[in-house]
Chains A and B, each alone.
Chain A
Amino acid sequence: MNISDPKEIFRQEAQDLLALLETTLLDLERAPGDGALIDTAFRALHTIKGSGSMFGFEVVAGFTHHVETAFDKVRQGTLAPNRELIAVALRARDHMRILIEEPEAADSAAGDAVLDDLRRIIAPAGAGAATVATTVVAAAPSGAPEVAATWRIRMKLPADAMANGTNPLLILDELRSLGAATVTAVTDAVPGLADIDPSVCHVTWEVDLTTSEPLSTIEDVFMFIRDEMTLEISPLEVAAATPSEGATVPAPGPAASAKIAAPAPATAPSTATPDARRDAAAARANSSVRVPAERLDELMERVGELVITQSRLRQISVASSDPSVKAVAEEIERLVLELRDTTMGIRMVPIGSLFGRFRRVVHDLSRDLGKQVELIMQGEETELDKTVIEQLNDPLVHMIRNAIDHGLEDPQERLAAGKSHSGRMVLSAEHAGTEVLIRLSDDGRGLDRDRIRERAVQRGLIAADAVLSDAELFQVLFLPGFSTAATVTSMSGRGVGMDVVKRTIEGLRGSIDLASTAGQGTRVTLRLPLTLAIIDGLLVRVGNGRYVVPLNAVEECVELSSEEDARSRGLSFLNIRGDLVPFLRLRELFAAKVPADRYQKVVVVSSGDLKVGLVVDQVIGDHQTVIKSLSKLHADIQMFSGATILGDGAVALILDVAQLVGFGQAQEERLKAVG
């Protein structure tokens, strides 16, 4: 993957920033007074604007500028971050996303509409801003004309600035372009010739600049290096009154203008926060690396090979009598297993990255549908394979839409039912063994059994007199073409969806359950494997071949008694605690040539609600497996979902349980028809 294209880098960076902006805005809606959130939003906007214009996204920069201006006002306390503003800001953020990702699709009229709304919100506040501005002497909002003032700028570049391509001369030129400037180089820190490192910038500068531009324009000169550099900007007049360092302002500057005129108490906290924030941002930048997914796959493959080679080494060391060989083999075994776990861990991502997106979905939906929804998220730190997480987005969005649209009632209806005004939705994730459980529960009206039944009968999905348990009835919801909503809304009710959700989840080797109490709510539970690359399997033997049955599909293992074996020649049914379970003889299916073991075992597997017994010669034990897909030459094979390599280096096939269960059921139907 080639990401050296600067525009592509900007797009990726902007994507992160837009996501950050969105969560921050949503947080801000809940806690409008939080200064840190306001600052984060402002900085995100500021960076998008700055990088945008640098990489040629002028339209983005231009548009973002207006939003940034609004948030600058918020930051200075002259504009309140109310719901209205946040709604507009969210729309603006969406427009920015379109501008960045698909500029040709961008509708400038839509952008103008957003900006008009934004102006409308700012306008009344603007009057208030004027009065504030008179008290805050030097803190004129950006864009306001100002009389010429003289600033003293002290700048010290980070040691690696030159290596990173920063040219101090350009910065000085840019300062000069703002007004009359006197530049003094401070050479105190320049070491002797013997010690000098020519690639490091040892010189610091003092610039006295007289300009009519506002402070923010001066700060913009340092936009891209401000986090690393030491920058002090102070008005010279003030500096003259208090010549000591007390008047200087530490970098970074976002809050600088307010600080200068503000009395001492305000200065202390506002200098602390930006520093802490900068440290946090730096730590975040250092702690993660973007890696193309295929490199991870390659790494995983190499580790898989290593694991197999290591197991061969172990076999050799077991046969060897040399204790030093044994010691090394054991050491390598330990290292390889650790390496495998670490490599697996790289693919794991906290699910919070996915959950975060849903806050916006809930926010928008609840506004559109006139319902109030409180979304509570739990277990965001739960980790899951990245591939799984990516594929979960659409199913979960669909489930959330369903819950808000069909599940939760209007505020009036809720109050009438003795519930709180706003609906409560809990989205949670937790580990359970080798699975992850994701639950979405709401406290809405619950599933309407009678209506589901009525609709199912109407559509011919169930017989009118069928006796069904709740669980069976709810399965109807997952059938294609089923929808109980009387009216089709734009959100849900088109009857496409739950069947797609179910298919997606099953494609991830997971399952989906519905539980509902009338009047009290619905709960959907998704069970998903931790990773797609590895499964826990049950190793069985049929004839000479060894096969892996995915362990999460295994219900139980029983022995096939000789009576049952003999009796079942015609009808292959097994009586398991009163339940008749059809079974398949894998020996016959696989045409095993060696004679059968005397005591045949049955592995009962399930797919959804259906159960089928698989008759095998031997149950060997459980086995953790790296899944390898089959090549195109075996594309016509239906019984196997993949293959894996066993500890001794041999290849074993993984049974496709869903296929086998379907096959067993079909056989049962056929036998019923015949019998």
Chain B
Amino acid sequence: MNETTDRSALEVLTLSLDDNVFALEAKYVREILDLVPITEVPTSNPFVGGLINVRGKVVPLADLRHKFGMTKRPDSLDTRIVVLEIDLDGDQTTVGLLADKVYEVTEMAASSLEETPRIGMMWRHEFIHCIAKRDDAFVVVLDLAAVFSSIGRDRPEFANDVAAGRSTARQSDTSLRD
């Protein structure tokens, strides 16, 4: 995927999260897996609250539904894990991403891509790469680098999610920050 095709058309993977259709740039996607056993990581940021085994590698599993404040629906036959390769502060990192459903890899024509509108969006502006129009519906193309690099910075957002007694250490941590 080079710059010119990036300009003219965007190859994306479309998936569903809580009945919303999102798209990820296909260049980040390494593979798509069926659901595997997930190991919870206590005391972690719930956005990356799990670990999975991808071919013998321990890979963090992220749940965007958490990030976007969606309801987490029970796992179904359609639930998939999208394995991504992203650049985190200069380190190539493998990350798994939960999706309620994965549709297809498709090409978005450049003419269909639009700038993110400042208002009227349910999701934080900086996580969105652009908006694509497809079959009279809008698809949000996510900016994965922004989504993952925000980890650790937006911790206070989740302070309420940390269950009471989950971690005394974390609580004292947050109280210090307050």
Picked from A304, A628, A639, the residue with its CB within 8 Å of the CB of B43 is: A639
What is the CA–CA distance of A38 and B128 in the complex, to the nearest angstrom? Answer: 73
- Segment at the A interface, from B18-26, B45-53, B114-122, B135-143: B45-53
Do residues B45 and A636 form an inter-chain contact, with CB atoms below 8 A?
Answer: yes
Do residues A590 and B55 form an inter-chain contact, with CB atoms below 8 A?
Answer: no
Q: Is A630 an interface residue (CB 8 A)?
A: yes
Picked from A306, A639, A651, A667, the residue with its CB within 8 Å of the CB of B58 is: A651
**Contact residues, A604-640 vs B (CB, 8 A):** 628, 630-640
Q: Which residues of A contact B169 (CB under 8 A)?
A: 638-639, 663
Do residues A650 and B39 form an inter-chain contact, with CB atoms below 8 A?
Answer: yes
In the complex with contacts A632-B91, A636-B152, A643-B51, A649-B40 CB distance below 8 A: no
Picked from A301, A589, A640, the residue with its CB within 8 Å of the CB of B41 is: A640
Q: Is A545 an interface residue (CB 8 A)?
A: yes
- Segment at the A interface, from B64-72, B103-111, B159-167: B159-167
Do residues B39 and A591 form an inter-chain contact, with CB atoms below 8 A?
Answer: no
What is the CA–CA distance of A588 and B166 in the complex, to the nearest angstrom? Answer: 6
Do residues A589 and B43 form an inter-chain contact, with CB atoms below 8 A?
Answer: yes
Do residues B60 and A588 form an inter-chain contact, with CB atoms below 8 A?
Answer: no
**Closest A residue, CB atoms, query B152:** A636
A-B contact count (CB 8 A): 97
In the complex with contacts A645-B53, A651-B52, A631-B93 CB distance below 8 A: yes
Picked from A301, A589, A649, A652, the residue with its CB within 8 Å of the CB of B168 is: A589
Q: Which residues of B contact A544 (CB under 8 A)?
A: 40
**Contact residues, A242-257 vs B (CB, 8 A):** none
Q: Is A404 an interface residue (CB 8 A)?
A: no
What is the CA–CA distance of A275 and B168 in the complex, to the nearest angstrom? Answer: 72
What is the CA–CA distance of A643 and B58 in the complex, to the nearest angstrom? Answer: 7
Q: Which residues of A contact B89 (CB under 8 A)?
A: 632
What is the CA–CA distance of A639 and B168 in the complex, to the nearest angstrom? Answer: 12
Do residues B59 and A653 form an inter-chain contact, with CB atoms below 8 A?
Answer: no
What is the CA–CA distance of A649 and B53 in the complex, to the nearest angstrom? Answer: 7
What is the CA–CA distance of A544 and B37 in the complex, to the nearest angstrom? Answer: 12
What is the CA–CA distance of A644 and B39 in the complex, to the nearest angstrom? Answer: 11
In the complex with contacts A650-B39, A663-B169, A634-B53 CB distance below 8 A: no
Known contacts A634-B44, A649-B37, A651-B37; 12 additional CB pairs below 8 A are: A301-B56, A302-B56, A589-B43, A633-B60, A633-B148, A634-B41, A638-B43, A639-B167, A643-B51, A643-B58, A651-B52, A653-B39
Residues of B that sit less than 8 Å from A by CB? 36-37, 39-45, 48, 51-53, 55-60, 62, 88-89, 91, 93-95, 148, 151-152, 163, 165-169
Give 7 closest A-B pairs by Cβ, nearest first.
Answer: A305-B56, A590-B42, A591-B166, A651-B39, A628-B58, A651-B51, A643-B58
